[in-house]
Chain A
Amino acid sequence: MTEIWRGVWVVAYREILRFVGDRARFLSSFAMPLLFLIIFGAGFTRTIGALAQGVNYIQFMYPGIIAMTVLTSSLFAGMSVVADREFGFLKEILVAPIGRTGIVLGKAAGGSLVALIQALVMLVLAPILGVKLTPTLVLSLIPVVIILSLGLSSLGVLIASFMQSQQGFQLFVQILIFPLIFLAGVFFPVNNVPAWMEIISKVNPLTYGVDAIRQIFLGSAHGLGVTVFGHVMTVPSEMALVGVLGAFLLLGAVIVFNRQE
């Protein structure tokens, strides 16, 4: 057991170390979210006007963009597994007395921490966009981001277990990311769309992550929240759903990683 814990923290520690040491990666990871925020924000905010009382389009989109940052950042925890395999470092980790389970948990935890840092950095935009930040808001955002990103990093590691090259991984994740983001209510409320789209969006677990983050920023009174069978989802129920799914993904990653040679 101590071996697993030691594994978790050394592997996670290295993820942070690499993240901090790589300024290019840090900056480029904000490129896409910023691009969406600026272009879609500038393009639509005036046309669409207020979506609800006191909520304009860019304020609606902003929490979704934070969720999107968490998604891309977490999935790329898997990228580091593939890169380690390609550059040989994975062997150094595999022969250390830390056990496979520790490695997977460490990669997921590291990916999750990196995602949390990125989400928090995104908060500097809030004042510019006219979104009010309070200590309560930030404190309730942290656990939500951690739960969401743990599940998504586990998914990343799980995918990585089947991938031999970084290009392969990147391609697969890119193909996965776009439908996940576009059908998760990042850019428009999912309640008021054609039925087929509504079904897909409400099956997409990311939808609930996006909605939870949005509720933390905008409250639940705006009436834009996701409804399932007529019930408006609350943040705790959404987190329970995302958390359970994430736990399964984590378990899956641990099992698959332990089986491989």
Chain B
Amino acid sequence: MKAIDVENLSRRFGKIEAVKEISFAIEEGEIFGFLGPNGAGKTTTINMLCTLLRPGGGSARVNGFDIVRQRSDVRRSIGLVFQQSTLDEQLSAEQNLRFHGYAYGVPAALREQRIHDLLTMVELYDRRQHKVRTFSGGMKRRLEIARGLLHLPRVLFLDEPTLGLDPQTRKHIWDYLHDLRQRENLTIFLTTHYMDEAENCGRIAVIDHGRIVAMDTPDGLKNAVGGDLVTFSTADAQAAAQFVREQYHVEPQIQDGQVRFHVTSGETFLPDFVREFPQRLLSVGLRRPTLEDVFLSLTGHEIRDSELDAKDLMRQHMQRWQR
């Protein structure tokens, strides 16, 4: 059985088509990531899969349960960490977890055992009686992850789990997630717009404007761009590009006076290239393509663009308020 099986799932809000006929399947035990800019439709997809939002079209099964007809079964079998905090800040860490245990009908002995184990795991056991109001952003996120796992879900959904956290805390959270997946044989579905974060996933679906534009392992995606990236500079970039085109049958790009092109297995290609190239080389570079390169070549725009837009909008709002 697939952990998650989605077929032609769609959803619109008025005129906006937030999610357009997406299909994918996730195996049990996978870490699967949705990578896309703000407004791509990531949260909308999660909301449909966790039964908070009715799909506009298509169907999906989570742990074998239909997300429209078997909502309670879906809910009981999944854990959720939303983009924005959903903790009760007036209650203590322990009270938040206990409430969750009651709400999901976890038997008392198991509940107390899980509360103890999970709080220890996310290193909040000493703070269990403190009100959540006094916690830092990273502590809250850790507590939410612990809460999402209390009722022994088989799939954990994480919507931008490290948004707004500093790099150190982000790494910390990822250590937990990898550890968890091994310990609890958990399937993890997460969304992110951080490229480096997507590297942690077994497989990635790249989503843009509500559509899945590519889906593969991080390495597979990078290979699909055309392998490793070779960059070099010489006195005459145009002539050099002409040489590359004729000799290796690839289409090079010239950017900032540098010639760039993709080759498969760059390590063995580079020595030959240096020997064969007729002019004097000023510099030569070789690097693996990043997911940034993948996103750019798939969508024609950088993921940062839209992120900046959102931040700018926010800043404008703030300024308007302060006036």
Contacts and interface: CB of A to CB of B under 8 A. Distances in A.
Whether A and B are associated in the same complex: the answer reads yes
B119 to A, nearest CB: 17
Contacts of A91: 52, 82, 86
Interface stretch (A11-19, A133-141, A145-153, A243-251): A11-19
B134 interface: no
A6 B72 CA distance: 13
A88 B85 contact: yes
Contacts, number: 63
Contact of B100 (A88, A92, A261): A92
B208 to A, nearest CB: 25
A261 B72 contact: no
B104 A96 contact: yes
Interface string B90-107: 110001000110111100
Main secondary structure of the interface of A (DSSP, over half): helix
Contact of B84 (A9, A17, A88): A88
Nearest to B99: A14
Interface string B111-132: 0000000000000000000000
A6 B102 contact: yes
A95 B54 contact: no
A10 B52 CA distance: 20
Main secondary structure of the interface of B (DSSP, over half): loop
Nearest to A87: B89
A99 B105 CA distance: 13
Interface in B64-87: 72, 75-76, 80, 82, 84-87
Contacts of B53: 261
Among A6, A88, A92, A98: residue with most chain B CB under 10 A: A92
Contacts of B50: 95
Nearest to B87: A89
Interface of B: 50-54, 72, 75-76, 80, 82, 84-91, 95, 99-100, 102-105
21 contacts: A6-B105, A10-B102, A10-B103, A17-B91, A18-B91, A87-B89, A88-B82, A88-B84, A88-B85, A88-B86, A89-B86, A89-B88, A90-B86, A91-B52, A91-B82, A92-B87, A92-B100, A94-B52, A95-B52, A97-B72, A98-B103
